[in-house]
Amino acid sequence: MAKLYIDTDKYGGQGASAVVDAYHGAIKELVRRRLDEAGGDWASFVFDKSYELISAKDFAAIEKKLLATGHRFDWSAMISVRERPDAYKPATGVGEDLKTFSFEHPEAVVAAKDADGREQRGVGDNVVKYPRNLVGTARYIRSSDRVVEMLTEGVPSDTVAIIDDSGGTLTAPILERFKGVICAGGTVRSHLGILTREYGIPCLMNAKISGIREGDRVEIESAAPAKTAEAYQTGVEMTAKVWRLGN
């Protein structure tokens, strides 16, 4: 993974974000290096040589290197943590307990196995109607530590992320790598719903699920009609199903 020089000593205190600090630090390092190579004093460099010795390509190279670190969404990903710190503390189900954790919504619609061996474990509001349903492996994403873990180790290719934050900022750094999303909050117009639609990722918002554990194979009814604004306004139920599949 690429590394960038970070310097926050000049003005003291902490910078706006790690990305901002890294970008500014890389520019400062570039200026120092070019000044040393060019010789002369600071004034002559700034007012005479800087346009020749530092180009737009240099800034583009710094940006490319920064994006390569995988932290291009760092700022938005940390907003929820800063504004709602209690919601992003390590929660039950993180770490060793993750294998036995599951959401248990009291209004989850559950049913016995159907003819295909699917056991309904809840419903949600479908964001976009796709040609077919989606099958994948349930993985709970409930803390910034889990996001960092997946940034470092990679997101498994068949991940159906189960999330309780409809803002979309927590999972922004890895969102495009999900196969599908089940979110316990929000509506199809929430930030997360908009992002998944733009990325073409099947997503159920306002999901009420129960008994789905980390690693379970699940199917979401992404072929169901997308919930409309009129349905929200008039209170009409337009839900898509979530099934847990047999091993």
Domain boundary assignment for the chain: 18-72, 87-245
CB atoms within 10 A of CB 161: 27
Q: How far apart are CA 73 and CA 93, in angstroms?
A: 25
Report if pTM > 0.75: no
Tokens 């600071």 map to which residue?
Answer: 42
Grouping H, G, I as helix, E, B as strand and the rest as coil, residue 41 is coil
Enter the CATH code of domain 87-245. Answer: 3.50.30.10
Grouping H, G, I as helix, E, B as strand and the rest as coil, residue 197 is helix
Q: How far apart are CA 228 and CA 187, in angstroms?
A: 10
**Secondary structure E strands in the chain:** 110-113, 118-126, 134-140, 159-163, 180-183, 203-209, 217-220, 240-245
Selection from 81, 29, 58 nearest residue 73 by Cα: 81
Tokens 């120092």 map to which residue?
Answer: 32
Print pLDDT tens along the chain (247 aa).
344 444 444 444 555 566 677 778 888 888 888 888 888 777 777 777 777 788 888 888 888 877 666 555 554 445 445 555 544 444 444 444 566 677 888 889 999 999 989 999 999 999 999 999 999 999 999 888 889 899 889 999 999 999 987 777 888 889 999 999 999 888 998 989 999 999 999 999 999 999 999 999 999 999 999 999 899 888 888 999 999 997 5
Task: Name the percent of the chain lying above pLDDT 70.
Answer: 78
